[in-house]
Chain A
Amino acid sequence: AQSVTQLDSQVPVFEEAPVELRCNYSSSVSVYLFWYVQYPNQGLQLLLKYLSGSTLVKGINGFEAEFNKSQTSFHLRKPSVHISDTAEYFCAVTATSGSRLTFGEGTQLTVNP
């Protein structure tokens, strides 16, 4: 089984500041890793994914994440945030042999002017 821990439940930042949302995972098997974003009253949208290869993955809206196998982490970063980035962000994992997603508890990112 897999588990995901998002280390911050809320992250307030000012517009144009950099941000990092932290995610650690636990698994006894190989995994794929994901970051999803959820805007109010909407479903989940995939920001980026790590399947294999380069440990630095780039996603939509200027987000990127780095897979660190030794630290079992997959932190999400953006160098300069906008008001429109205010949303809840979920880190998720699935075994490479499966399709069932296990999600973290979510991080509410609030970008203030």
Chain B
Amino acid sequence: KAGVTQTPRYLIKTRGQQVTLSCSPISGHRSVSWYQQTPGQGLQFLFEYFSETQRNKGNFPGRFSGRQFSNSRSEMNVSTLELGDSALYLCASSLAPAGDYYEQYFGPGTRLTVT
């Protein structure tokens, strides 16, 4: 079974631009979560989607948004990029969210550099 895939793997953008990152979960997984990893703040939860609905949201400004499609693929968008948005963005998929525990499987991440 293929793992979680994220595209692109590397991205360079300029301040003020916007960016869209994509995540394809493991086949059959319906929950997708996004995390931001930076040297200063570590790993921080962005949001979680399940069945095309946002189930949970972290403490990030409204410039960060996401969505999930009917095939469970997810995208996250960052508008008006700032230098501080430079980070590794990780996507994780699982069978289902809250309730019974389901392991989250992480993708390799998208490395975003804002110049």
Contacts and interface: CB of A to CB of B under 8 A. Distances in A.
Contact of A99 (B48, B90, B106, B107): B48
A103 B97 contact: no
Given A97-B98, A105-B42, A49 B106 contact: no
A90 interface: yes
B64 to A, nearest CB: 15
B106 A43 contact: yes
Contacts of B103: 46, 49
Nearest to B109: A43
Q: Which interface class (under 10, 10 to 19, 20 to 34, 35 or more) fits B?
A: 20 to 34
A103 B44 CA distance: 7
A83 B35 CA distance: 28
B98 A103 contact: no
B45 A45 contact: no
B114 to A, nearest CB: 19
Q: Chain A: interface secondary structure?
A: loop
Interface residues of A, number: 23
Contacts of A32: 101
Given A42-B108, A43-B90, A44-B90, A99 B42 contact: no
Interface in B54-83: 55-56, 58
B94 interface: yes
A102 B106 contact: no
A99 B57 CA distance: 11
Nearest to B44: A103
A49 B104 CA distance: 11
B31 interface: yes
Contact of B42 (A41, A51, A97, A106): A106
A32 B102 CA distance: 11
Interface in A93-113: 96-106
Interface of A: 32, 36, 41-46, 49, 51, 90, 92, 96-106
10 contacts: A42-B108, A44-B90, A90-B43, A99-B48, A99-B97, A99-B98, A100-B45, A100-B56, A101-B104, A102-B45
